[in-house]
Every structure is written in structure tokens, then in C-alpha cells.
Structure 1
Amino acid sequence: MIKVNEDLQFKLINKDTKTQLLICMEEPAELIQAISKVQRYLNEGVINPKYKSSLAANLCEEIADVYICLKKLQLYFDISDDCIQEWIDYKEKR
């Protein structure tokens, strides 16, 4: 299970909500860029092994940033894990 310091994230978003919300908008864009880089190195559905490790490391970092932001938004708007799980279940059934 992935753990985020919820106390820290709650303090950050309540201390400077405007900036934290801006960060929560910017981080997914950085993940999109990382995914775009992966696509550039695809050749017939296979990533060049020479670049796979660095691409994976970059993706990992950006996924972590987005995960933190998602948790921050969840805490700020008091959204329960159950609520999110209900939406996941619904969307996966489609």
C-alpha cells in the first residue's frame, strides 16, 4: 500500500490553498509529458531497452507527484476512500 503523510498534505493545502490547487493542476501535466516521452521511444509497441529504465524512473516520479496531489484533494474536500472506490467500481464495469 502506498502511504502519503496525510497530516502534512492537509496542513499544506489548508495553509495555502490557492498555490496547492495550482500545483495539483500542474502535476498531471508533468505526468502527461512523461507519458509523451515514453511514446516517442516506442517502436512497434516495444520500448527501446536503452531508455526503458530512465523512462520508468521519470514515470515513477511523476506518478508519485500526482498521487500526492490526489490525496491532497481528497483530504481538502473530505472525500472518503469508499466514495472513490464506488466510482472506480462503476467505471471499471463500463
Structure 2
Amino acid sequence: MKKDIEKDIAFIAHYYGYEAQSRQLIEEMAELTQSINKKWRGENTGLYRGYYDDMKAITEEIADVQICIEQVKLLLGITDKQIESVAESKIIREKSRIREARRKTIS
């Protein structure tokens, strides 16, 4: 993220504090879930609003979630390095599960 944006995120995070921003994150995650579900439901029920509208809504909600995640990380002192380490181990574990599932399917 750009330095100016990081400063703005820190300013907002410290102004509102952890409780408010963690609750905001929950709300934004729910809105992202809803926009993803609307796209899926529309594609599978014939009530499709349109690719552009769905992608715009999903993109906006992802941005909102990312902003709130950055604020919560900052307020809790969680570093990118910590997250990357956990993410790497989770990815390795999931790849192992997929390989095992493929082996079972083939045999």
C-alpha cells in the first residue's frame, strides 16, 4: 500500500479504535459475502444483474474489507510477516490435501 494511504488508515484506525473498527470489519465482511452470493445466485437462477454490476459491487466490498483489515492489524499489532507465515503454512497444508484427494480419485 502507498505510504499516504497507510497514514490515512492509521489515522482513521486510531481515531475510532479497535472496537468500532473491528465491528466495521464484521459489517464489511458481511457485505462482501452478500455481494458474492448475489453474483452466484444471479448466475444460477436466471436473475443475473450483469457482470459489470456484480464485479463492481464485489470490488468495492473487497476494498472496504481490506481497509478494515489493515486497521485491525494495526490496532492489534499484527504484522504482514506474521500473516504471511501463517498463510504459507495453510497453503502448503491445503495443497497437500488436494494432492491426497487426487491420489484417492485416481486409485
Same structural fold, with TM-score higher than 0.5 when normalized by the shorter chain: yes
Is 1:32 paired with 2:51?
no
Runs ≥4 in structure 1, deviation > 3 angstroms? 1-4, 47-50
Taking only aligned residues, the RMSD between alpha carbons, in angstroms, comes to 2.6
Report the counterpart of residue 20 of structure 2 in structure 1.
19
What is the one-letter code of the residue matched to 1:60?
Answer: T
CA distance in 2, matches of 1:2, 1:88: 23
Q: Which has the higher helix share?
A: 2
After superposition, where does 1:61-80 map in structure 2 within 5 Å?
A: 61-80=60-79
Relative distance call for 1:77 and 1:50 in structure 2 (3 A) is closer
> TM-score normalized by structure 1?
0.82
- Structure 1: give runs of 5+ residues left out of the alignment: none
Point out which structure has higher relative CO (alpha carbons under 8 A, 6+ apart).
1
Q: Determine if contact 2:42/2:49 at 8 Å carries over to the other structure.
A: no
CA offsets per residue over residues 32-87 of structure 1, 9 Å max, x none?
A: 000110111224xxx99861111011100000000111111111112111101001
Unaligned segments of structure 2, at least 5 residues:
94-107
Q: Mark the CA change 1:6 to 1:86 in structure 2 (over 3 Å): closer, same or farther.
A: same
**Overall identity of the aligned pairs, in %:** 31
Which has the higher Rg, Structure 1 or Structure 2? 2
- Partner of residue 42, structure 2: 41
Report how many aligned residue pairs link the two structures: 92
Q: Does 1:90 align with 2:89?
A: yes
| TM-score, normalised with respect to structure 2 | 0.73
